[in-house]
Amino acid sequence: MFDRFLVEPTELIECGGHVLVVNRTRLWGRDGIEVEAHSVEVVSFSDGHIVRWRLYRDRDDALKAVGLAD
């Protein structure tokens, strides 16, 4: 378990009906251990509403999911 965590969006990329949110997450453990992780969320919209929210480990996988990479 972690005592504290912070998720920081570092970049937003608009792609048609999707927004890619590039994140840096920092976690602090009980003994002062700090961990940093990176992820990309793809948030899909329809008629102004969120219809899907997916999490990817990296930008390439997220771009592939919205058809912007090979």
* Tokens 């996988």, located at residue: 61
Q: How many CB atoms lie within 10 A of CB 42?
A: 20
List, for residues 6-64, the tens digit of each pLDDT value. Answer: 999 999 999 889 999 999 999 999 888 999 999 999 999 999 999 999 999 999 999 99
Return the H-helix or E-strand segment holding 53: strand 49-56
pTM, two decimals, is: 0.81
- Cβ atoms 25, 10 nearer than 8 A: no
Full set of structural domains in the chain with CATH: 4-65 (3.10.450.50)
| Number of other residues whose CB lies within 10 A of the CB of residue 62 | 24
